[in-house]
Amino acid sequence: MPRYRIFSLSLFLFLVLTNCNPDEPAPEKEENACNEAAAPAPAELNLVSCHRSISRDSVATESALLGVWDWEYITCFWRTEKANGEDFKCLSIEFKADHTLIVKESGKITQTARWKIFRGDPVLFVIKTEPLVPQVVGRILFCKDVLEFNDSYVDGCDNYFRKGK
């Protein structure tokens, strides 16, 4: 039993000491690199209650959507192989006041569409786009600078965005 503990402690110390150098500078991000797909922060996991704490009608929802939103991550309850994938890690969507939107990947326009808000259920709104933009399918939930298009309630995926700067 003591050998196992000594071996475990030695292995742990070896791994810590060989991978941690306080004098080594942190790697710099490439200028054109996109954010890595991020795991949800604890405060973002309950967007429904956060969203419902702020009363929004269709006009307020439309207004809150305006601007650039950077894709963060995706969660899929039934299709876990798609969860937190990096398929859209360089994607951003700009919602414009004239009800058009622009989808960009790595800064290049890949799609334009028209959008409109509709009542999705008694409390939440959904967005319809023409043509379809798959990342914005589902109920619209906001919490601070986080936007979720929640489609898991019908066995789809939830796409999370963060307000661009």
Structure confidence at residue 54 (pLDDT): 75
CATH hierarchy code of domain 42-163: 2.40.128
DSSP three-state, residue 106 = coil
* Of 25-34, 130-139, 152-161, minimum mean pLDDT range: 25-34
Provide the pLDDT confidence category of residue 22 given band limits of 50, 70 and 90: very low
Q: Is the Cα torsion angle 118, 106, 131, 150 positive or negative in sign?
A: negative
Better pLDDT: 51 or 120: 120
* Rounded CA Rg of the chain: 21
Per-residue model confidence as pLDDT tens digits over 97-141: 999 999 999 999 999 999 999 998 888 899 999 999 999 999 999
Please, what is the average pLDDT of the chain? 78
Residues near 127 by Cβ (< 8 Å), separated by ≥ 6? 65, 115, 116, 117, 118, 136, 140, 149
Neighbouring CB atoms inside 10 A of 110's CB total 10
Provide the pLDDT confidence category of residue 75 given band limits of 50, 70 and 90: confident
pTM for the whole structure: 0.72
- What integer is the mean pLDDT of 75-93? 77
Alpha-helical (H) ranges within 42-156 are 47-52, 58-65
Provide the pLDDT confidence category of residue 159 given band limits of 50, 70 and 90: very high
Domain coordinates in residue numbering, the chain: 42-163
How many residues are given for the chain?
Answer: 165
DSSP three-state, residue 158 = strand
DSSP state of 1: -
Q: Would you call the peptide bond into 131 cis, given omega within 30 degrees of 0 as the criterion?
A: yes
Do 105 and 86 contact (CB within 8 A), yes or no? no
Q: Which of 33, 29, 38, 160 is nearest to 106 (CA)?
A: 33
- Cα gap 49→35, rounded to integer Å: 27
Share of the chain above pLDDT 70, in %: 64
Provide the pLDDT confidence category of residue 82 given band limits of 50, 70 and 90: low
